[in-house]
């Protein structure tokens, strides 16, 4: 029984797949968390900029409020 446990622990210690996955998770967290913090910090500025850009896009299309104009198809 002790030999089987020792063999299982040895196999677990030699397995690098779990360590690689932890590294990937840490890399994603190192990139994602600061990006999320910046988005939360500047949320209102980003929202205003997107609203302005969307208004420019809607205003230049020539069609009212999101409806399709068959003449432009």
Contact 72, 62 (CB under 8 A): yes
Query: What is the distance between the alpha carbons of residues 20 and 40, in angstroms, rounded to a whole number?
Result: 30
For the chain, how are helix, strand and coil distributed in percent, rounded to 5?
Answer: 80, 0, 20
Higher pLDDT among residues 1 and 44, named by residue = 44
- Confidence (pLDDT) at 44: 93
Q: Quick check: 21 pLDDT over 90?
A: no
What's the pTM? 0.46
Banded pLDDT at 68 (limits 50, 70, 90): very low
User: How confident is residue 51, by pLDDT bands cut at 50, 70 and 90?
Assistant: very high
Which is nearest to 65 in space by CA: 51, 52, 73, 55? 55
């Amino acid at each position: 029984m002790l030999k089987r446990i020792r063999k299982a622990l040895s196999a677990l210690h030699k397995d690098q797949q779990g360590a690689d996955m932890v590294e990937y998770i840490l890399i994603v967290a190192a990139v994602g968390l600061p990006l999320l913090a910046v988005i939360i910090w500047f949320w209102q500025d980003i929202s205003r900029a997107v609203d302005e850009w969307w208004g420019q896009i809607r205003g230049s299309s020539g069609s009212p409020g999101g409806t399709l104009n068959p003449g432009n198809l």
